[in-house]
Amino acid sequence: MKRFNLMLGAALIAAGFTSCKNDAEMAAQDSVDGYEAYVDSIQGLDDEERVANWETIDSEYNNRLSEAESGLESVKDRAAAEEKINDTKEKYNEVKNKTMEEANDAKEASLYNGLFGHEPQGGNMDFTWVNKDNILGVYKQFVETFEANKDSYSRDQLDMIKAWYEALDARKNTVEEQGLTTEDNMEIAKLKTSFATKFAWERMTAKGEENEEAKEAAE
């Protein structure tokens, strides 16, 4: 009887190990499948929603990837699971790159609209919408917005602002030939002088801050 009980106990322990093993395999496979399903769900989001929630999306992605990779030791078909994970990584990187481009475009559009109070037409370097009747207001909007936000602009944004300003100035040369009044031209000249002085300072300090940050990162 004692021997039978010992044998029965051994059989139950073995069954338990098998059950645990099966549970581990299922859990590992679920983590791999869940990882793939999560990335598929990201692809299904509309662009605006994905951009607005990207930080949360990316954090959850990294958690799911970690779980999927941790379970590779337990999956029944490791080669197939690794292939699925690698394919899903490629899909995610494509979505991520697209989202980063969309986010940058949205930031650029917001910067442009704030400075000029106008949606870009034909591209943000096209200022054909500026004419003799609205050009003074455009310069005022631009200079006043820059003044209000000058401390928050990054070096890249300042470079973009400079390019837009030069494009606006080029448009002014054309507008002058279309009947720009002397009074408006004088007001614009004052605004240009004010902007040039402030922009030069902000550009210089931004470069200095960037160099300092690069130095600290290298240390």
Could you tell me where the DSSP H helices lie in the chain? 2-43, 47-52, 54-70, 78-116, 135-149, 155-176, 182-218
Same domain, 86 and 127: no
Residue 74, domain extent = 2-105
Same domain, 31 and 86: yes
Same domain, 51 and 133: no
Same domain, 25 and 70: yes
The whole-number average pLDDT for the span 146-171 is: 93
pLDDT above 90: percentage of residues in the chain: 53
Report whether pLDDT(66) > 80: yes
What's the pLDDT at 6? 39
What's the pLDDT at 23? 76
In this structure, is residue 110 part of a structural domain?
no
What's the pLDDT at 10? 39
In this structure, is residue 207 part of a structural domain?
yes
Between the alpha carbon of residue 15 and those of residues 11, 12, 75, the distances in Å are: 6, 5, 19
- Residue 37 corresponds to which tokens in the numbers above? 């399903």
Same domain, 142 and 169: yes
